[in-house]
């Protein structure tokens, strides 16, 4: 133990004197695996609509207060058994015509990803049941998937395989009964999930063959498709595109189903009506959910030629509301960033006493990184003193000399560091109280979204008049920030990469970050793929 302490002290002195990069120092305490896994949350809500082309109401995102009281860090803990029952709808085509089923889906996850293990296995069961026994269409489906997973850096690879021994399904349409033959059927799903600091992105492929015994003989339904989705603190989507081919004794059918679920939070400012009231108004957070599917008929049997070649189904989901705090920011009247600042204080992205907020002052590196960490809801660890054996307190060795554990922002800075969102500079210093410039600020925003790869062009070039002034270490991210609309030129076409960022400007671009997660991603992942009128 004494030798280990001596090694740590010598390492600290060596780094401080010779100015080695921060990573050389910090990796003594945080391995690369620890960094990529502890601050990213595995999305366990993949597949809440099932994989057969139906739609469900899903599990909504937590509102601000719910998010604040949620468990801050699930590192190293295996997910517990989770059961969710949701409303469910599915279009059935086994009779050669589209008919709608309405019921419930129960999703049972028998555990989940254990981030302390590189590989693992758990089960997921989907149970579909009718609500009304006298409906025209009845589905009873029980399918259990064996899920194998492996962790690779910030990514998780899932492989779902249906267990034939626990797969049973009957579909009744009017007086026609179709019974699944499990021994002749198979169904599998493969998913890759990338857990970036602010957004969990994923895509998957679906392949299966379902063989039913029907009134007129055996019917085969082949399924091929893919899906995309993401989950962030401000919005989430999952969109499927499934091609299905039915082969019956005397007819055939080819159609496509595109189910989608989108969730996003909306901030609405509501002015109070009474004159004598202590605050003029406040923001409320509204959790909106849109669920729908579109189907397109490509090949139909002769007896179905009269049908329209497409159709849509939607599900009404009530909104959830939460009132947010009302702050007195009347001194900001007329400031260009007034609305942005109000929104960020209401959602706790900006903290402290709003009366002391100075929009014209430069925002420091530490203040900006902590605000970004709050904006993307990075899970944080409490700033507690580590204890050695027998309860003795260990020396308080912080990764950064200028960010002691006693500082309120310490948990946010460490969360951002572990997520590779922001690191320190030479001499193991974070330079917390130094002003941040625009190019570094936008670099951090793009890292938060996990979109750095979009700027992997060997020589990325922006249209800014001062493009040559952008530092090489920030060029990729600034290019991406421009591509996605976060970084825009001023009226003369300049970006001003080295100019210090004011607190008012910081509020504006932080609000743009939230808006990108809340609005733009939804459009990219859902509206353009499904094309359902909302």
Beta pairing class for 82-92 and 252-271: unpaired
List, run by run, the mean pLDDT of 10-residue segments along the chain (534 residues). Answer: 41 35 31 39 84 95 82 49 92 97 95 86 96 91 97 95 96 96 98 95 97 97 96 94 97 97 93 88 94 96 94 95 91 91 94 90 95 92 52 58 87 90 79 94 96 83 93 93 94 96 96 94 72 43
For residue 331, give the H/E element and its range.
none
CA angle 150, 378, 114 (to 5 degrees): 25
Q: What is the pTM of this model?
A: 0.86
8-state DSSP, 184 = G
The tokens for 151 are 């962790």
Q: Which two tokens stand for residue 66?
A: 């719910």
Within 8 A by CB and 6+ apart from 398, the residues are: 404, 405, 410
Total count of residues recorded for the chain: 534
Query: Is-contact 424 409, C-beta < 8 A?
Result: no
Q: DSSP secondary structure string, 103-159?
A: EEEEEEEE----TTSSEEEEEEEEEEEES-TT-SEEEEEEEEEEEEEEEETTEEEEE
Distance linking the first and last C-alpha atoms of the chain: 64
d(CA 505, CA 459): 28
What is the rounded (10 degree) CA torsion for 464, 469, 475, 479? -10
**Per-residue confidence (pLDDT) for residue 481, from 0 to 100:** 95
Tokens of 50: 């099932």
Structure tokens at 320: 């959830």
Q: What is the dihedral of CA 461, 463, 469, 475, to 10 degrees?
A: -40
pLDDT of residue 318: 94
Report the distance separating Cα 486 and Cα 123, nearest Å: 41
DSSP state of 2: H
> Dihedrals φ, ψ of 506, to 5°?
-60, -40
Task: Give the separation between CA 477 and CA 147, rounded to whole angstroms.
Answer: 36
- Could you tell me which residues are beta bridge partners of residue 101? 90
What is the helix, strand, coil percentage profile of the chain, to 5? 25, 35, 40
Contact predicate 101/89, CB 8 Å: yes
Question: What is the DSSP-derived secondary structure letter of residue 45?
Answer: T
Measured CA to CA, the distance from residue 397 to residue 31 in angstroms comes to: 17
């Amino acid at each position: 133990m004494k030798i280990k302490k001596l090694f740590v002290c010598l390492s600290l002195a060596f780094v401080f004197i010779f100015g080695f990069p921060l990573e050389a120092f910090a990796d003594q305490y945080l391995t690369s695996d620890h960094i990529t896994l502890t601050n990213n949350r595995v999305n366990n809500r993949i597949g809440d609509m099932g994989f057969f082309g139906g739609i469900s109401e899903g599990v909504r995102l937590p509102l601000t207060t719910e998010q604040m009281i949620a468990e801050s860090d699930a590192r190293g803990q295996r997910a517990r058994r989770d059961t969710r029952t949701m409303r469910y709808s599915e279009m059935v085509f086994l009779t050669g015509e589209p008919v709608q089923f309405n019921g419930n889906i129960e999703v049972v996850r028998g555990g989940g990803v254990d981030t302390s293990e590189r590989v693992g296995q758990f089960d997921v069961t989907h149970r579909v049941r009718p609500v009304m026994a006298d409906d025209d269409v009845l589905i009873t489906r029980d399918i259990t998937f064996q899920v194998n997973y492996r962790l690779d850096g910030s990514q998780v690879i899932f492989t779902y395989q249906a267990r034939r021994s626990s797969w049973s399904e009957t579909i009744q349409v009017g007086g026609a009964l179709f019974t699944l033959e499990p021994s002749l059927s198979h169904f599998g799903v493969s998913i890759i999930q990338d857990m970036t600091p602010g957004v969990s992105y994923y895509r998957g492929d679906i392949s299966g063959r379902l063989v039913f015994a029907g009134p007129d003989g055996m019917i085969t339904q082949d399924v091929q498709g893919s899906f995309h989705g993401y989950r962030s603190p401000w919005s989430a989507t999952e969109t499927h595109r499934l091609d299905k081919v039915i082969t019956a004794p005397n007819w055939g059918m080819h159609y496509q189903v595109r189910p989608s679920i989108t969730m996003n939070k909306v901030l609405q400012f509501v002015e109070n009506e009474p004159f004598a009231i202590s605050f003029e108004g406040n923001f409320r957070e509204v959790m909106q959910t849109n669920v729908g599917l579109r189907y397109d008929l490509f090949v139909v049997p002769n007896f179905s030629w009269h049908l329209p070649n497409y159709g849509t189904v939607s599900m009404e989901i009530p909104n959830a509301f939460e009132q947010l705090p009302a702050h007195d920011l009347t001194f900001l009247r007329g400031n260009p960033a007034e609305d942005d600042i109000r929104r960020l204080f209401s959602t706790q992205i900006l903290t402290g006493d709003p009366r002391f907020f100075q929009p014209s002052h430069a925002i420091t590196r530490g203040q900006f990184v902590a605000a970004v960490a709050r904006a993307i809801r990075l899970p944080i660890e409490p700033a507690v003193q580590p204890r050695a054996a027998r309860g003795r307190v260990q020396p308080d060795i912080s990764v950064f000399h200028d960010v002691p554990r006693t500082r309120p922002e310490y948990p946010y800075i460490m969360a951002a560091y572990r997520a590779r969102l922001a690191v320190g500079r030479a001499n193991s210093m974070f330079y917390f109280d130094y002003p941040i410039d625009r190019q570094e600020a936008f670099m951090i925003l793009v890292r938060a979204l996990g979109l750095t790869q979009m700027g992997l062009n060997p020589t990325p070039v922006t249209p800014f008049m001062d493009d040559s002034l952008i530092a090489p270490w920030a060029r990729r991210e600034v290019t991406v920030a421009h591509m996605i609309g976060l970084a825009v030129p001023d009226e003369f076409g300049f970006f001003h990469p080295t100019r210090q960022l004011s607190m008012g400007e910081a509020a504006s671009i932080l609000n743009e970050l939230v808006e990108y997660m809340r609005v733009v991603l939804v459009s990219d992942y859902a509206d353009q793929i499904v094309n359902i009128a909302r």
